[in-house]
Chain A
Amino acid sequence: MEKGVRLFLKSKLRVFLFLAAGLVSACARSSPELPPDLSDVTDADKAALVSQISPKIQNMDCSQIFKKMRDMAEQDKKLERAIHANRKNNQVAGYFGGLFILPLIAVETNDAEKNKLDLNQKRRDELILAYQHKKCGGQKVQFQTKQ
Chain B
Amino acid sequence: MGYKIYVPVLLAALFVSGCQTWSSANMDLKDGQTKAEAAEEAPKKSPKDVIVSTNDITNRPYTVLGDIDVTVNKTTIFHADPTKEAVNKKLQEEAASIGADAVILVRYGSVSVSIVSWGSLDGKGRAIVFKK
Contacts and interface: CB of A to CB of B under 8 A. Distances in A.
Contact of B53 (A31, A84, A131, A141): A141
Question: Interface residues of A: mostly helix, strand, loop or mixed?
Answer: helix
Contacts of A69: 55
B113 A141 contact: no
B118 A21 contact: no
Contacts of B17: none
Contacts of A37: 64, 126
Contacts, number: 111
A50 B59 CA distance: 20
By size class, the interface of chain A is 35 or more
Interface residues of B, number: 41
Nearest to B126: A34
Contacts of A125: 105
Contact of B114 (A25, A80, A132, A147): A25
Interface string A83-99: 11001001100110000
Contact of A30 (B52, B59, B109): B109
B51 interface: yes
A131 B62 CA distance: 16
A28 to B, nearest CB: 4
Contacts of B64: 37, 39-40
Given A39-B63, A91-B118, A83 B110 contact: yes
B124 interface: yes
Contacts of B94: none
Interface stretch (B1-9, B18-26, B36-44, B84-92): B84-92
B112 A25 contact: yes
B53 to A, nearest CB: 5
Contacts of A40: 64
A34 B105 contact: yes
B54 interface: yes
A141 B109 contact: no
B77 interface: yes
A4 interface: no
Contact of A143 (B52, B58, B128): B52
B113 A128 contact: no
Contacts of A34: 67, 105, 107, 124-126
Nearest to A121: B107
